[in-house]
């Protein structure tokens, strides 16, 4: 079986083009879940699209939206942090041996969670303000620039294990994402607080 074909438009309103890719992420995640599909091919295609899409947003779209004051620095930085979280979940997914294992399905579930969270947040807090504050003409210019970068990355290949690992390492080095050790400590604190809160609710309702 061959890898699912990716749409490769060359022009359009950047907001519509990004939304279309967010839909394709969901389609590819579903292909990765199905047992009657070529999961390995779907995983590779999903990885390539996730990386090309986000890299092109960071270099071609976010800076212009910021310059046009549609978004502030904190939204841009938060978007970049979530892209790094996607890289981390993607790396675990690529590291799952085979495609029929528990590890594969758990890594897929976590990747789906972070991708869906980011798409939702980007659509609400970045694309909506851009629709209000950036002209249609500029959105079409951005569409061309974003597609040029996205399609070039897809053509040369941008999501091998080595490439994803290097991008994640750069995000940590650039302090876009805290080191894994710090995040593990923060997660442990959150987990302990959650358990305490659940206990409190249970006591109040028993
Ligand atoms: Fe996006
Ligand atoms: Fe994004």
> Is there a single domain that holds both residue 193 and residue 144?
no
What is the block-wise mean pLDDT of the chain (206 residues), using blocks of 10 residues?
A: 73 97 97 97 98 98 96 96 97 96 97 98 97 96 97 97 97 93 92 96 94
Residue 122 Cα to ligand 1 midpoint, Å, equals 6
Report how far ligand 2's centroid is from the alpha carbon of 101 (Å).
29
C-alpha 142/C-alpha 137 separation (Å) is 9
Asked if 84 and 176 touch (Cβ cutoff 8 Å), the reply is yes
From the CA of 193, how far away is ligand 1's center (Å)?
A: 32
Can you give the residue range of the structural domain that contains 95? 14-175
Query: Are residues 89 and 43 part of one domain?
Result: yes
Q: What is the pLDDT of residue 6?
A: 86
* Residue 134 and residue 85 share a domain: yes
In degrees rounded to 5, what are phi and psi of residue 4? -60, 145
Residue 24 domain-assigned? yes
How many folded domains does the chain comprise?
Answer: 2
Report if residue 9 sits inside a domain.
Answer: no
**What is the 56 CA–ligand 1 centroid distance (Å)?**
9
Rounded-to-integer distance, Cα 42 and Cα 116, Å: 17
- What is the predicted pLDDT for the residue at 3? 58
Q: How far is the CA of 17 from the centre of ligand 1 (A)?
A: 9
Q: Are residues 119 and 71 in the same domain?
A: yes
Is there a single domain that holds both residue 69 and residue 115? yes
Q: Give pLDDT tens digits for 88-133.
A: 999 999 999 999 999 999 999 999 999 999 999 999 999 999 999 9
Per the CB < 8 A criterion, the answer to whether 206 and 110 are in contact is no
Ligand nearest the Cα atom of residue 14: 1
Residues 28 and 69 in one domain: yes
**pTM beyond 0.85:** yes
CA of 179 to the centre of ligand 2 (A): 21
Distance from C-alpha of 119 to C-alpha of 83, rounded to nearest angstrom: 10
Ligand lying nearest the CA atom of residue 19: 1
């Amino acid at each position: 079986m061959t890898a699912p074909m990716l749409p490769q438009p060359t022009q359009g309103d950047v907001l519509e083009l990004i939304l279309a890719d967010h839909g394709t992420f969901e389609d590819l995640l579903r292909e990765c879940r199905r047992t009657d599909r070529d999961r390995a091919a779907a995983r590779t295609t999903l990885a390539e699209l996730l990386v090309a899409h986000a890299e092109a947003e960071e270099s071609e779209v976010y800076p212009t939206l910021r310059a046009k004051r549609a978004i502030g620095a904190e939204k841009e930085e938060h978007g970049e942090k979530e892209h790094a979280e996607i890289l981390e979940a993607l790396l675990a997914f690529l590291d799952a041996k085979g495609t029929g294992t528990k590890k594969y399905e758990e890594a897929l579930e976590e990747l789906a969670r972070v991708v869906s969270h980011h798409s939702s947040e980007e659509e609400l807090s970045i694309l909506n303000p851009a629709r209000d504050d950036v002209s249609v003409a500029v959105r079409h210019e951005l569409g061309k620039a974003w597609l040029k970068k996205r399609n070039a990355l897809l053509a040369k290949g941008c999501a091998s294990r080595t490439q994803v690992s290097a991008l994640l390492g750069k995000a940590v080095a650039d302090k876009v994402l805290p080191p894994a050790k710090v995040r593990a400590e923060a997660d442990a604190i959150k987990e302990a607080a959650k358990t305490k809160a659940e206990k409190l609710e249970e006591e109040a309702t028993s």
